[in-house]
Amino acid sequence: MSTVLEHEPGVETGSSTRRLRAAIWAILKDRPSAIVGAAVLALFVLVAVFAPLIAPHGLHERIGPPFGTPGAYPPLGLDDGGGDILSLLMWGARISLMVGFAASLVAIMIGGTVGVIAGYFGGVTDTVLMRITDYFLAIPDVPLMIVVAAIWGPSLWHIVLVIGLLLWTSTARIVRAQVKSVRERVYVKRARALGAGNARIIFRHVLPQVAPLLVANTVLTIAVAIFDETALAFLGLSDPSKISWGKMIKNATGSAAVSAGAWWTIVPPGVCVALVILACTLVGQALEDALNPRLRVAHLAARGFRLLPRMLRDDK
Amino acid sequence: MSEQVLAVEDLHVWFDLPKGERLHAVQGVDLDLEAGERFGLVGESGCGKTTTILALMGLLPSSAGVSGSIILDGEDILAGGERSMRPHRWKDIAMVFQGAMNAFNPVQTVGAQLVEPMEFHGVATGDAAKRAAGELLEMVGIAPERAERYPHEFSGGMRQRAAIAMALACSPKVLLADEPTTALDVMVQAQILDLLTRLSDELGLTLVFVTHDLPVIAELCSRAAVMYAGEIVEAGAMETLYHDPRHPYTRMLFGAIPDPEGEREVLSIPGAPPRLDREIVGCPFAPRCDVAFERCPVERPALLELGPRHYAACHHNDPVSTVAS
Amino acid sequence: MRGIDFILKRTAFALITVFVAVTINFVLFRALPGDAITNLSKVPGATPALRAELTKEFGLDKSKWAQYWVYLRKLTTGNLGVSYSTQEPVTTELWRAVGNTVPMVLLGTLFSIILGVITGVLAAWKRRTSLDYGSVGVALTFYSLPTHWLGLMLLLLTAGYLPRGGREDEFLFDPSFMAHWLDVGKHMLLPSLTLGLVLYGQYTLVTRSAMLETLGEDFILTARAKGLPDRTIVRRHAFRNAMLPVITLVALSVGYIVAGSILIETVFSWPGVGLLVSRSVERRDWPVLQGAFLLLTISVVFFNYVADLLYYEFDPRITT
């Protein structure tokens, strides 16, 4: 009976987004690394959103000679086309983050749907869907992405779709496992006994329980999606008209920046990608960790118990 | 029969809690064990009994701080910390764990795990050790050939027997058994208890049996100590404790034993033990005690000797307070 | 005997996965509508005779189902068509590339496993010390770096000390046997190092968490109770058990290794399968891309299969 009471009030209040936000905040605030990650992520999102307002120069503006040094054109110098690197980073953030968020949205939608259906209905549906997932898991996604992107031709939406369509498998597995356990909880069984329909049970009872895990998974997927965009751009499969961080790295290598020693064209976009991936990983892992607590005791530690002098007990 | 093997004096254990607080898990425990005796340590979960015997093995985690002395054959083995305890582990004091289901490494054969401590402590090596492992298994009623098998191929009861055999590998003087029968069904429990009784008789082994299950101790042990909130509240011979309990908690523990026909149930003493992360004022048992009086919540009772080797910590045994009330 | 069932099941799964990949391959390249769809006969610069021969060989004038059938039959004989750009058989090009990729990837992967396992074990053993925080921090950082970017960074840093790319120095005139392989080794160093560095981070993290989980098991407490020193406990009891998830991870990361090698070989112009992929993407050389994709998929499936068998070998509990 206590289980029912524990879960019931939260489910009934209805404002599940607020609850989710509160839950996520509660998890993050005890983990300094996750706070840093979330702050970095927020900063990049702000820069991306306000790029048109804060970027010192326009996207296609030429303000000096190719490979102008950071000394001559502070703070970060110029790229092969004489464009301001700092401005390009800000504009690039829009595309890179957009691809990251949109692609993981696609992945989460597909993976979430497959996971919920497989976990909730079980039986043959589950077996069939999970077999399909297994096969997709076994096929290396980057080569498949390359092939599909090459065949479809370079366009931003193709990239988003290609990445999204291939990243859903791990989400599906994780969600399925969670749904399976939620399904067996007392209040879900009771809702079913009371005659609630499947759709109602899924949306009112199952999804709110799966949501935090889904958020954690989304954050991790964003990191992979941004990585994949960078990789596809490097192989010349990105939209030629759009500047992303990946495209900036590609342009720099294509224009022989390495042999020219123009490190300032290569270092900044890579650092941005790395920072975003690191931030997503820190946040995502903190969330996952908190939601799936592993065993925290270790019987073997860096040091054993301490020997306290006898008098110590008196100072209590 | 009165030769002292192991003595514990004024043992304290604190655990550091995440938020800078400390949990005083064991609060000044004294024990003294004779060669070949079977001694029971009984109490509710969280009363510090497992912590006490882990301290005897020196197996506390790094969050623990320990003080006191553990005297084995006249030598204080706690004095040098981890370093002075290690040579005695398994060789002099061995242990059968609560979750003996998982006491074996799943990817090594049972035999290899029996041989390991023998070789490490130099008791036997090579084929001699293997033979000894077979004999140990035979002693606990397992066919010696099964030494080649992996733990998952053993049933629960069999694994517990094997765990006992493993504990005996270096012929220890003292065997600590921490709720060794909890996860087993009743039939197997009885077999394990018989086995422990037989082994301690045959080998002259000192057995410390830790449990929350008073009937088990009553059947098995000659002497026992009752722990509550990190300290011993009463200790004495089993008959004395049964017929003449001098602490209300002991009396209530015996009272809480259900009739033999009924199902086993958890101790039905109302209330819960006090939290150990703050200082306890007065008698820790006072809030749950049915005979508490004004002195109990304010003054902590001392452990008084009431008869030959019979101790209890209750104000009712204090002549001063008896007069006062 | 233990595990016949297990082996049969895993074998069946591997075979079906390969079949699924083969089919996806066909669908992607020849059955999907789109302007980039291959027609194996449209080899640029080919003579009409070659075209006619290819049309006949691959049944291009027949239905898709018939083409699929021909495609499967050709696969069994290892015929993957002809490269658009070189007009060499795809299989020949692939084999040559594999010979270059394997040593580079092996060296890098070995390096990453050793580094990852050592740092992971140490981090878990010395948990909550600066050694732990340091190893995890560095591992996470390398894990987050874009592969090709790390390669470019190493190129910038070593400019002038190590060769910039390729497999060997073209201008080394008639080198001795030793000099030749030394030269190749020098060229291989940076690609392997890049791969090793981007891979090792996740091995550290997984080894660490597997070790921590194992160190929390009761049998570790038993081992301590036996009086064994910490080093023996880590080596004999914790390590082997913790390696089980690491084996799985290494196998699962073969896909990641494949992705890494595509990017790395492109950065360093290392003439392996990865470079072949990126070149064929650039030139829209569909037969080569298709062959490479198939090869990569099958090798990933194969390594997953091997990992399953290894897991089975190491863990006596597995029966089905």
| pLDDT tens, position by position, C278-306 | 999 888 888 888 899 999 988 888 988 88
Name the pTM for this structure: 0.82
Chosen from C10, C135, C148 to mutate, greatest number of chain A CBs within 10 A: C148
Closest in C218, C221, C226 to B116, CB measured: C226
| Rounded CA separation B12/B18 (Å) | 20
Query: If you measure CA to CA, which chain B residue comes closest to A308?
Result: B67
Chain A residues 273-292 within an 8 A CB cutoff of chain C: 273-275, 277-278, 281-282
For residue C138, the distance in angstroms to the closest alpha carbon of chain B comes to 26
Give the pLDDT mean for C18-40. Answer: 68
8 Å CB contact of B67 and A301: no
The subunits that touch chain C, with at least 3 C-beta pairs less than 8 Å apart, are A, B
Question: Going along B170-215, which residue ranges are E strands?
Answer: 174-178, 206-211
Find chain A residues with C-beta within 8 A of C241's C-beta: none
Check the CA dihedral A114-A115-A117-A122 and report its sign: positive
Find chain C residues with C-beta within 8 A of A261's C-beta: 156, 159
Q: Which of B200, B176, B167, B202 is nearest to B37 (CA)?
A: B200
| Segment B165-194, tens digit of pLDDT | 999 999 999 999 998 887 788 888 889 999
Q: What is the pLDDT of residue A268?
A: 93
Q: What is the pLDDT of residue A106?
A: 94
Where helices occur in chain C by DSSP H, the ranges are 4-26, 48-57, 64-76, 90-125, 130-144, 147-157, 177-215, 218-225, 230-232, 239-252, 254-268, 273-282, 286-314
Q: What is the pLDDT of residue B207?
A: 95
Residue ranges in chain A whose pLDDT is less than 50: 1-14, 295, 311-316
Angle between helices B186-203 and B156-167 (to 10 degrees): 20
Q: What is the pLDDT of residue A303?
A: 59
Residue ranges in chain B whose pLDDT is less than 50: 1, 264, 266-267, 323-325
For residue B277, the distance in angstroms to the closest alpha carbon of chain A comes to 11
| Rounded CA separation B72/B13 (Å) | 19
Residue C229 Ramachandran class (φ > 0 left, ψ -120 to 50 alpha, else beta): beta
Residues 6 or more apart in contact with residue A300 via CB below 8 angstroms: C125, C215, C220, C224, C230, C233, C234, C238
8 Å CB contact of B14 and A309: no
| Rounded CA separation A88/A110 (Å) | 33
Q: Which of B239, B181, B237 is nearest to B38 (CA)?
A: B237
First CA to last CA across chain C, in angstroms?
Answer: 11
Query: If you measure CA to CA, which chain B residue comes closest to C127?
Result: B62
More confident residue, C140 or A136: C140
Chain B residues bordering chain C (beta-carbon distance below 8 Å):
57, 59, 86-91, 94-95, 97, 99-108, 116-117, 120-121, 150, 152, 166
Q: What is the pLDDT of residue C188?
A: 92
> What residues form DSSP beta bridges with B6?
B33, B72
Q: Could you identify the residue written with the tokens 């000659």?
A: B222
More confident residue, C116 or C163: C116
CB atoms within 10 A of CB B17: 11
Q: What is the pLDDT of residue C23?
A: 87
> Binning pLDDT at 50, 70 and 90, where does residue C46 land?
low
Closest in B10, B24, B65 to A305, CB measured: B65
Q: Which of A100, A66, A101 is nearest to A80 (CA)?
A: A66
ipTM of the complex: 0.86
Closest in B87, B88, B103 to C219, CB measured: B103
| Rounded CA separation C235/B276 (Å) | 37
Find chain B residues with C-beta within 8 A of C316's C-beta: 106-107, 150, 152
CB atoms within 10 A of CB C36: 12
Q: What is the pLDDT of residue B321?
A: 59
Find chain A residues with C-beta within 8 A of C215's C-beta: 298-300
8 Å CB contact of B97 and C221: yes
8 Å CB contact of A146 and C216: no
Tell me the two tokens of residue B318: 């204090």
Q: What is the pLDDT of residue A48?
A: 93
Closest in A297, A308, A316 to B61, CB measured: A297
Q: What is the pLDDT of residue A310?
A: 54
| Contact between C180 and C174 (Cβ < 8 Å) | no
Q: Which residues of B20-35 are buried (b: 16+ CB within 10 A; e: fewer)?
A: eeebbbbbbbbbebbe
| Contact between B316 and B251 (Cβ < 8 Å) | no
| Rounded CA separation C277/C282 (Å) | 9
Q: Could you identify the residue written with the tokens 């039986």?
A: A123
Chosen from C149, C267, C284 to mutate, greatest number of chain A CBs within 10 A: C149
Q: How many residues does chain C have?
A: 320
- DSSP for C48-95 reads HHHHHHHHHHTTTTS-HHHHHHHHHHHHHTT---B-TTT-SBHHHHHH
Find chain C residues with C-beta within 8 A of A300's C-beta: 125, 215, 220, 224, 230, 233-234, 238
For residue A30, the distance in angstroms to the closest alpha carbon of chain B comes to 12
